[in-house]
Amino acid sequence: MSAAVDAPVKVGFVGLGNIGKPMALRLAGADDVELGVYDVAAGPLEELAAAGARPAASVADLAAEVDVLCVMVRDDDQVRDVMGQVLGVAGDRLTVVVHSTVAPDTPRQLEMSASRHGVKVLDAPVSGGGMGAAEGTLAILVGGSDEAFAAARPALEPMGKVVHCGPIGTGTRFKLARNLMHFVAFTAATEAQRLAEAAGLDLRALGDVVRHTDAITGGPGAIMHRESTAPIAPDDFWFGVFEHVVALGEKDLTFALGLADELGVDTPLARLALDGLAPGLGMPHSALHPTSTQTEEHP
């Protein structure tokens, strides 16, 4: 007698945009997922139908038939609109997974409303963009109860690396912390481009070098191994590592700022970085910092 085979998990996906559509396509290709989809646009529905998914006539119709409902719409208002169509239709079997990046308090508000109808909620924003969605390599940052996470996990794993960050709302906070670094780094890149352009350099070549070296060093993530942002004691392993980072960083930033002054280029982020690098790493400034002294105490 052959062993019993688990039934496929019934998943619904609402919102088939630039990231939602490739996410849904990954689910459509998963062996253990039975997928239904909904979007206001006909084109993505036709593409998902061709991939084996079943288009639904409405959000409510979809929610009434699935165990996990993934939501990837534009903003908080659209997420609330979808949730309003779900509540009252589905019973306590349903787990709603909000992939949209929303305000920090929104997931908890959604959970409170949904719990009155027996519906479970996870906030699960993603990082990795359209390419990560298409390749199934997204980072999926999940906040919510263990019970809700266990229910939704089979629907999440085909789409990427799943990280259970903690209770409801922690997925969104995780995403916001990650994207703070992302877009500050983008702004720093534009500052570097202005400096390079004023110096007569090839901006495309600079971009090639940045992508090449970040692939080797890990970029900003290379310094993110500690479990605390507290000051580092001199006998800590990381003190020696970051002492080198601070010395190198303050030297290069000082030279870059000197070049910027010479060329008349405004580089406010670089000036903030010169002052903030060492204390941000939990370290004293190096001797090269303009305000440092040989007798400076460890912060």
Alpha carbon of 202 to those of 96, 207, 211, 257: distances in Å?
Answer: 48, 9, 15, 19
Angle in degrees, CA 153, 107, 141, rounded to 5: 40
Distance between CA atoms of residues 217 and 209, nearest Å: 12
Q: Give the bridge partners for 87, in sequence order.
A: 90
175 is a catalytic site residue:
yes
Which residue from 196, 207, 217, 206 is spatially nearest to 263, judged by alpha carbons? 196
Which of 10, 21, 120, 175 does the annotation list as catalytic? 175
As given in the structure block, the two tokens for residue 103 are 């305000």
In contact, 113 and 83? CB cutoff 8 Å: yes
The contacts of residue 27 (CB under 8 Å, 6+ apart) are 11, 13, 33, 35, 53, 70, 155, 158, 159
Provide the CA 67 distance to its chain's centre, in angstroms.
25
- Whether the Cβ atoms of residue 154 and residue 33 lie closer than 8 Å to each other: yes
119 close to 143: Cβ distance less than 8 angstroms: no
Determine the Cα–Cα distance for residues 269 and 160; give it in Å rounded to an integer.
Answer: 33
Catalytic residue list: 175
